[in-house]
Structure 1
Amino acid sequence: MSKIQAEDIRNLAIIGHSGEGKTSVCEAILFNGRSTDRLGKVPDGNTVTDYDEQEIARKMSISLSVAYTEWEGAKINLLDVPGFYDFEGEMNEALRAAGGALIVMGANGTVTVGAEKAIAICQRAQLPMVIFINGMDKDNADYAGTVAALKQNYAGKIAPIQIPIMQGQKMIGYINAIKEKAYRFSDAGLQEIPIPEDMLPTLKEMQDSLTETAAENDDALLDKYFSEGALTRDEIVHGIRKGIYNVNTIPVMAGSALQNKGIINLMDEIVKYMPKAKERREMVATDLMKDELTGVSCEEDGPFAAQVFKTVVDPFVGKLNIMKVFRGMLRSGSTVYNATTGKSERISQIYLLKGKKQEPVSELGAGDIGAVNKLISTNTGDTLCDENAKVKFDAIHFPRPVYSMAVYADKKGEEDKIFGGLNKLSEEDYTFTVEKNADTGEMILSGQGETHLDVINKKLKAKFNVSAALRTPRIAYRETIRKIVQAEGKHKKQSGGHGQYGHCKIRFEPFDGDFEFAEEVVGGSVPKQYIPAVEKGLRECLPSGVLAGYPVTGLRAVLYDGSYHDVDSSEMAFKLAAAIAFKEGLKNAQPTLLEPIMRLKIRIPEAYLGDIMGDMNKRRGRILGIDMAEGMQIVNAEAPQSELSKYATDLRSMTQGRGRFIAEFERYDEVPAAESEKIVRARQAENN
């Protein structure tokens, strides 16, 4: 395509609830813009933006995908974002590059959770948005009810700019309130028709509302409206554009992406109303030359500055870094500076993307989105810039992992291949982690939910041809004692020649710490040269307690007496004697299990507070306090780690996807007797 200016670029993130038709909207836009020659369908697995094997198999988006088309002299960059909860990090990546959001929601008479969250995110980020009510071809479509629900939730912001023409329950056309024209859908496209007489009052009401909305967004227009009682069509468009830019106005349109009805109108309004790339607010960055904050605006002739917002890793093709150019021009063959790593990178080939299709170009200008391959030290979130104008953008925020499983190789000996593959996948997905649990020895894969980890596991098989099994992680229980005891350990063995003799008496005490060794030997009953062997023998016993074989903590051991033999005593004999004393002493010291306790911050709407508190009690948890932030209840609680393995899934179920939480290790607490017996029996069965 020919060189395009930032003035003519619209960067849109397509967001909303899972299953509402975001990918279908993208497909229809691409088809209408002649970027594709056929209208793909998600059920058929042939859409541009859902091209991954798992996306096709699951019939849902799992990864951010980029495509573009041209319409009415503008380039529209589409960022198709998964709507499922487990892939929230993809939305954060998209919103870093987008200049506006297209929120797709169903015509079901309510505001879905995904739409609710999408609008809230855009409001916090001050990101202009437009709502498209999809599925108007369905028998139960309720446009009026959906708009009413939106107006109730977002009073004073919702601005429908078209009126659907219905036949029964289905949308057969629409009236454009600003153009004052009516259109009917037909096989040949849009057919202009007279405005139905019975809809003229509704049209007049909507025009009055749009005029008031436009006036409220501009002081000069407000003065004119008060003095003259009317605005021109251009003034109404200007006022609405200004309201959209300031996130005071959210226009609403409707149609059916699957039937490609209402999409052309949507595209017209995107070009007309949504902010141009050049109009995006300044991006805050750190000027590395001056060590101060600075604003980076969309200047086409300024020094180059871009940020990688998405990385795609392919074991055969390599790594593809997708970036948004915020300032200046990126050219093939140039050298740029990575302000995040401090290294220079050579730009070989630049691409424009249409899903998996890569179109080579020689340059990428300010406000545009494209991709570069073969960068050595560049990853998601990194800033690339001119070496003589070093700036660094803030890192992209990613949600913390909340759901964990242990990873095992299906085939023995493939562990290294699995973890090598997971490390590669972590370059394109920053919302999961892989680390070894020092207490259990298991490799733990942590992500956003069951579906997320299942996707990662299947990607391992598809991309790296290695199979992994995911299992519930072991809990890192520990053992301790509750009373002071004295124990004697004697190791005596005679087998010809020198024998073996070690004898020690040790007092075991509960201790506020991990482990401490002390000695109170008097009279040389245990020679000094053997005392370190006693301590070593005890420390070697700590990893396996007497109750269920879990590591021992909270123990103080005091060597206070013993005996030795001039010839037969040795360090080994005293080590073995200490081990005997350890096992004997801990059995009689009321051993007990300890479990890890997690500190939780649970963020929920107030309506779910009772359910969350009741559920926490069932999990042996306790509520520490409740705060409020941004209209949400923040529940501070503690609960045993063993009760939280499925909490991410359960919390979503209880709150219809509106709840979130983070958990951090707090301390170890004693396990209740009934629970302790179950754990010991399970451990014994496992060992047998």
Structure 2
Amino acid sequence: MADKGSHPSGAAGRAPAADRPTQLRNVVLVGHSGAGKTTLAESLALAAGAVNRAGRVQDGTTVSDHDDIEHRQQRSVQLSLVPLEWDGVKVNLLDTPGYADFVGELRAGLRAADAALFVVSAADGVDGATRMLWDECAAVSMPRAVVVTKLDTARADFDQVVEACREAFGGEDPDAVLPLYLPLHGGAPGHDGEPPVCGLVGLLTERVLDYSSGVREERAPDPVLRPALEEARGRLIEGIIAESEDETLMDRYLGGEAIDVKTLVEDLERAVARGSFHPVLAAAPPVEGSKQGIGTVELLELVTAGFPSPAEREAPPVTTPDGRPRPALACDPEGPLAAEVVKTSGDPYVGRLSLVRVFSGTLRPDAAVHVSGHGLADRGHEDHDVDERVGALSTPFGKHQHPAPKGIAGDIVCVARLGRAETGDTLSAKEQPLLMEAWEMPDPLLPVAVEAHSKADEDKLSQGLARLVAEDPTLRLEQNPDTRQLVLWCMGEAHADVLLERLRTRYGVQVDPVPYRVPLRETFGSAASARGRHVKQSGGHGQFAICEIEVEPLPTGGGFEFVDRVVGGAVPRQFIPSVEKGIRTQLAKGVASGHPVVDVRVTLVDGKAHSVDSSDAAFQTAGALALREAAAQAVIHLLEPVSEVRVLVPDDYVGTVMSDLSARRGRVLGTEPVPSGRLTLVRAEVPEVEISRYAVDLRSLSHGTGRFSREYARHEPMPPQVAARMREQEREAQPAGR
């Protein structure tokens, strides 16, 4: 971190290895889509010698070659691991998608990492979603640094984006977010009239790191740089000293004593490691002929010297699978085995691959392990409590896997042939099974109804969906009993597109999206009486059953009541349950628009039977006919589900969100500020018909900063004009001939 020079220790295509947790750094790249995370990961791999000058490993692929879908969509859609080695330290870079739909992949990266690099575009600045992620990392004291990218683009302004970072990330202490280097401009002006970035100026060492010749050269700064250098250096030194554990350092500095660079660097590294100081670095593409991107060496020095090793971070709490507490885990290769599946993917050649972070012990190929899973029944995930044998271990490099002899505590490896393990499951020793505390996973709130494209697809659909669910814990699979639709609950439209594409290309299953139907209900709005008459004679035994019923509405939540008031044996006792069964069957089918009927009392008051031709089936049919006849004489209300919605948005968007909820026939119940500041919780009751696409709409309203949850509250009558529109839409959606 003190401009020590280049120390690449990898070779293109060779998987790095570590023997001790102190030789490891697990770092997640965080930032909005288009900030340059993947490009930065490739530049760091190039600087470390993991790839050649063309950005490729020995087999010709790049470290970012992972998924054909990513190439087609021109964006990252999944977590990827880029392992490299620098100065004897193995660095596991976890590149995460920046698009909000793939937040599950981001959460997995945060779980597997011990520190975070927030990548901010110099042209676009800090968005609200990145600010919220910063706050989440702060809540768990994760060490963070900022990398300003795209300094070579038009509108790039390093000073301006640093001030934006200080305001967004600094909170009450903006001097905890300060640059370690300033970009150096030189050469012929670019297309925007500004000289390109050709190097950096180190604020602590007061040395220029010049890349303009294609080779990183160190020299003294030009006099013209002195004023800006001294101002920025003074602010940085004060920021470092403010975080120093040496309480005398500030007094010595203010007294005029020159603090040596070594002391400042050591204090800086300690402050970064404990998460109290967040340096800002700059990165730019390599100048022509250079083997290293500008700022990559300095960034690797920060990662290896300033970020903590896994041994310095606490592991997640563990229990036994049945919930009994266990001692806290230590990052010790000789300790009890405890590892977690942070990502699951399917490979057409080797089958299921599990990306595993080892928190304790050592994971070895072909070892017998216990798989424990929390289970997410509402999302289609089963509880896991089984023994398995792991397959080969490997380290990913683009699309290829390099064999790994073992995975020690703190490392991240790929495991083959874990047939039952899913994302979020714990791997532990068979004789000492453990279960790690689950990490927070967002609830998918965008429903996408699908149907199999053909009979062949229908036969393969369940197996393909089971594999998707195992890979993606943000996917919830629902077979709705009311609408009889197969529904994939997704994080957004892009997430849905990727899931359907994977289903088609990876598992050979073609499905067609169909309009999602909200599960509505019907109820009687007035009392009615009716007779059900089922009399047929067709030779031999006929069918004879007559029943008379009275129907009256019950209060909301009253369910269904059946009352027998038959006197004199008009309906024989053995056929009274048949009448009730026929009525229940018709209630499930609906009486007006095909939705189940709820909250009614049906009273059987009279009827007739025949000694030969009456039967169970006849009275079931008569009961159903009587209910349909009563519905024709009564007022039938269409009931819609209403959800209690909780929307968390920055204060700037509260008014917009409340107006939008009101336009959706919502009732705003109140607002309350969130203690962390800058956020407000809006509570409302909104019909589900109006919020089936709210996951997409809220993102647009709040520029990606809003989040919401919803919980079913009740069914209530739909306004007549809305009900009429819904019935018309349902009639139009019915296939011809039905």
> What is the TM-score with the length of structure 2 in the denominator?
0.88
Q: CA deviation at 1:104?
A: 0.7
Shift of the 578–348 alpha-carbon distance from structure 1 to 2, 3 Å rule, reads closer
Greater shift in the superposed pair: 669-678 or 367-376? 367-376
Shift of the 428–580 alpha-carbon distance from structure 1 to 2, 3 Å rule, reads closer
> What is residue 278 of structure 1 aligned with on the other side?
311
The 2-side partners of 1:237 and 1:493 are apart by: 97
Q: Is residue 504 of structure 1 aligned with residue 547 of structure 2?
A: yes
> What is residue 24 of structure 2 aligned with on the other side?
9
AA paired with 1:302? Answer: G
The 2-side partners of 1:354 and 1:497 are apart by: 78
CA contact (8 A) 1:306 1:324 kept: yes
CA contact (8 A) 1:214 1:238 kept: no
Shift of the 537–281 alpha-carbon distance from structure 1 to 2, 3 Å rule, reads closer
Q: CA deviation at 1:399?
A: 1.1
Match of 1:397 among 434, 437, 440: 440
CA contact (8 A) 2:18 2:24 kept: no
Q: CA deviation at 1:25?
A: 0.3
Q: How does 1:45-64 map to 2 (within 5 A)?
A: 47-64=62-79
Q: How does 1:171-570 map to 2 (within 5 A)?
A: 171-186=197-212, 188-220=214-246, 222-227=247-252, 229-257=257-285, 260-286=293-319, 291-340=324-373, 341-387=384-430, 390-495=433-538, 499-512=542-555, 513-570=558-615
Shift of the 456–526 alpha-carbon distance from structure 1 to 2, 3 Å rule, reads same
Q: CA deviation at 1:390?
A: 4.6
> What is residue 163 of structure 1 aligned with on the other side?
182
Shift of the 533–608 alpha-carbon distance from structure 1 to 2, 3 Å rule, reads same
The 2-side partners of 1:288 and 1:463 are apart by: 33
What SS is found at the alignment partner of 2:590? coil
Q: How does 1:562-601 map to 2 (within 5 A)?
A: 562-601=607-646
Q: Deviations over 1:203-254 (max 9, x none)?
A: 222222222222222332x313313544221211122122212222110011
Shift of the 9–107 alpha-carbon distance from structure 1 to 2, 3 Å rule, reads same
AA paired with 2:592? Answer: L
AA paired with 1:115? Answer: T
Q: CA deviation at 1:552?
A: 1.5
The 2-side partners of 1:419 and 1:51 are apart by: 26
The 2-side partners of 1:568 and 1:333 are apart by: 70
* Structure number having the greater strand percentage: 1
AA paired with 1:454? Answer: D
The 2-side partners of 1:576 and 1:661 are apart by: 46
Shift of the 569–663 alpha-carbon distance from structure 1 to 2, 3 Å rule, reads same
> What is residue 144 of structure 1 aligned with on the other side?
159
Shift of the 46–103 alpha-carbon distance from structure 1 to 2, 3 Å rule, reads farther
Greater shift in the superposed pair: 307-316 or 9-18? 307-316
> What is residue 726 of structure 2 aligned with on the other side?
679
Identity %: 34
CA contact (8 A) 2:321 2:385 kept: no
The 2-side partners of 1:290 and 1:469 are apart by: 42
Shift of the 561–346 alpha-carbon distance from structure 1 to 2, 3 Å rule, reads closer
Greater shift in the superposed pair: 390-399 or 331-340? 331-340
Shift of the 280–501 alpha-carbon distance from structure 1 to 2, 3 Å rule, reads closer
Match of 1:619 among 660, 664, 667: 664
CA contact (8 A) 2:162 2:178 kept: no
The 2-side partners of 1:319 and 1:683 are apart by: 41
Q: CA deviation at 1:40?
A: 4.1
Over aligned residue pairs, what C-alpha RMSD do you find? 2.3
The 1-side partners of 2:130 and 2:537 are apart by: 80
Q: Is residue 655 of structure 1 aligned with residue 667 of structure 2?
A: no
CA contact (8 A) 1:49 1:80 kept: no
The 2-side partners of 1:661 and 1:590 are apart by: 36
AA paired with 2:127? Answer: T
CA contact (8 A) 1:224 1:230 kept: no
What SS is found at the alignment partner of 2:175? coil
> What is residue 86 of structure 1 aligned with on the other side?
101
CA contact (8 A) 2:26 2:91 kept: yes
Q: Deviations over 1:533-561 (max 9, x none)?
A: 22222222213333222221222110112
Greater shift in the superposed pair: 16-25 or 624-633? 624-633
Q: Deviations over 1:616-675 (max 9, x none)?
A: 111111112223333321212111111112111100000010001112222111111101
Match of 1:133 among 138, 144, 148: 148
> What is the TM-score with the length of structure 1 in the denominator?
0.94
The 2-side partners of 1:380 and 1:132 are apart by: 29
What SS is found at the alignment partner of 1:186? coil
CA contact (8 A) 1:13 1:79 kept: yes
CA contact (8 A) 2:545 2:614 kept: yes
Q: CA deviation at 1:138?
A: 1.0
CA contact (8 A) 1:318 1:374 kept: yes
CA contact (8 A) 2:123 2:151 kept: no
Between the two proteins, the alignment pairs up a number of residues equal to: 684
Q: Is residue 27 of structure 1 aligned with residue 53 of structure 2?
A: no
Q: CA deviation at 1:67?
A: 1.6
What SS is found at the alignment partner of 2:91? strand
Shift of the 552–76 alpha-carbon distance from structure 1 to 2, 3 Å rule, reads same
What SS is found at the alignment partner of 2:459? helix
CA contact (8 A) 1:50 1:65 kept: no
The 2-side partners of 1:495 and 1:119 are apart by: 78
AA paired with 2:300? Answer: M
Q: CA deviation at 1:127?
A: 0.8
Shift of the 17–50 alpha-carbon distance from structure 1 to 2, 3 Å rule, reads farther
CA contact (8 A) 1:283 1:297 kept: no
Shift of the 495–295 alpha-carbon distance from structure 1 to 2, 3 Å rule, reads closer
Q: CA deviation at 1:87?
A: 0.6
AA paired with 1:539? Answer: R
CA contact (8 A) 1:18 1:114 kept: no
The 2-side partners of 1:302 and 1:546 are apart by: 65
Q: Deviations over 1:123-175 (max 9, x none)?
A: 12211111110000112111111011112221232021001123426322210
The 2-side partners of 1:6 and 1:68 are apart by: 15
Q: CA deviation at 1:508?
A: 0.6
CA contact (8 A) 2:123 2:153 kept: no
Shift of the 146–576 alpha-carbon distance from structure 1 to 2, 3 Å rule, reads same
Q: CA deviation at 1:2?
A: 5.7
Shift of the 360–568 alpha-carbon distance from structure 1 to 2, 3 Å rule, reads closer
> What is residue 9 of structure 2 aligned with on the other side?
none
The 2-side partners of 1:528 and 1:569 are apart by: 12
What SS is found at the alignment partner of 2:331? coil
AA paired with 1:416? Answer: D
